[in-house]
């Protein structure tokens, strides 16, 4: 909005050519169509009422409680990832409603209802060691109101296990596929379904695994289409992304 445009509006207001309400509208128009930056504010407001997210890793129980208390006042639901049992014990003291999802390492606090989706997200793992990351994805997605179907331990070294669960996998609106080691499962799933696949490499493995690098590179270079990748062990990010897609 140039100074000329600003002066024009003000003069019109002064001369009574337009009402104040009309002027306000004009400002809104500008912000929405020309400037963009006002959108920032809109956006922030839209966010009010949204769940709050805490990354628990490395925070003391006291710090956790402090943050949770602050957030609870806004009346929103709260999700804290990478939390220990100790952190939960502290939070439970100040908030009776707090739940602990042990395998996922997640603390959740529900202060208001979330609308549930009709369609579901399939959360699939190659091995049993990947279940911690899978639960982080699954609990995150459920927290945002998604139905989730867990399909665990169906890795490619015994591929008949995967085929037995194919109908369930194909029924999903979006798949989260979690694997360590060579990270081959998302490629196989991506070739069997026609839905978006969010691939999560895990650091499960040793040696040439290099803390998840082998699975990460494998997923990024997948020969199947419709596969996109999040960070190593990032179950939360996959659950969040899948929720975004499932709610479209």
172-201 residues near its own copies, rule: CB under 8 A? 173-174, 181-184, 187-188, 190-192, 194-196, 198, 201
Residue with Cβ nearer its own copies (33 or 116):
33
Q: Residues 30, 61, 99, 245: which binds its own copies (CB under 8 A)?
A: 245
Q: Which one of the spans 72-80, 85-93, 103-111, 164-172 is the region binding its own copies (CB under 8 A)?
A: 164-172
Does 92 help bind its own copies (rule: CB under 8 A)? no
Q: Would you count residue 166 as binding its own copies (CB under 8 A)?
A: yes
Rounded to whole angstroms, what are the CA distances from 123 to 70, 139, 242?
32, 10, 10
d(CA 127, CA 133): 11
Given candidates 5, 39, 74, 102, which one binds its own copies under the rule CB under 8 A? 39
Residue 72 tokens, joined: 């609870």
C-alpha 109/C-alpha 143 separation (Å) is 9
- For its own copies, which residue of 34, 62, 97, 102 counts as binding (CB under 8 A)? 34
Looking only at residues 50 through 89 of this chain, which bind its own copies when binding is defined by CB under 8 A? 53, 57-58
Q: For its own copies, which is the closer residue by CB, 92 or 120?
A: 120
| Alpha-helical segments (H) within the chain | 3-14, 20-29, 37-47, 61-72, 85-94, 131-143, 160-164, 166-170, 185-192, 213-220, 235-246
């Amino acid at each position: 909005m140039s100074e000329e445009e600003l002066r024009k509006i003000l003069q019109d207001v002064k001369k009574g050519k337009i009402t104040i309400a009309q002027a306000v509208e004009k400002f809104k128009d500008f912000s929405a169509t020309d400037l963009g930056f006002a959108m920032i504010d809109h956006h922030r407001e839209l966010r009010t009422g949204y769940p709050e997210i805490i990354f628990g890793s490395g925070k003391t129980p006291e710090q956790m409680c402090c943050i949770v208390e602050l957030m609870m006042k806004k009346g929103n639901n709260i999700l804290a990832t990478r939390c220990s049992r100790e952190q939960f014990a502290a939070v439970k003291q100040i908030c009776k409603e707090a739940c602990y999802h042990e395998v996922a390492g997640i603390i959740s606090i529900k202060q208001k209802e979330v609308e549930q989706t009709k369609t579901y997200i399939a959360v699939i793992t190659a091995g049993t060691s990947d279940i911690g990351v899978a639960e982080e994805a699954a609990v995150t997605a459920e927290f945002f109101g998604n139905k989730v179907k867990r399909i665990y331990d169906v890795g490619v070294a015994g591929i008949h296990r995967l085929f037995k669960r194919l109908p369930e996998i194909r029924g999903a609106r979006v798949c989260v596929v979690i694997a360590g080691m060579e990270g081959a499962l998302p490629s196989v799933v991506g070739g069997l379904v026609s839905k978006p696949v969010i691939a999560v490499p895990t650091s499960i493995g040793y040696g040439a695994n290099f803390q998840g690098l082998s699975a990460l590179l494998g997923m990024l270079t997948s020969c199947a289409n419709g596969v996109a990748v999040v960070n190593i062990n990032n179950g939360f990010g996959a659950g969040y992304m899948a929720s975004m897609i499932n709610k479209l």
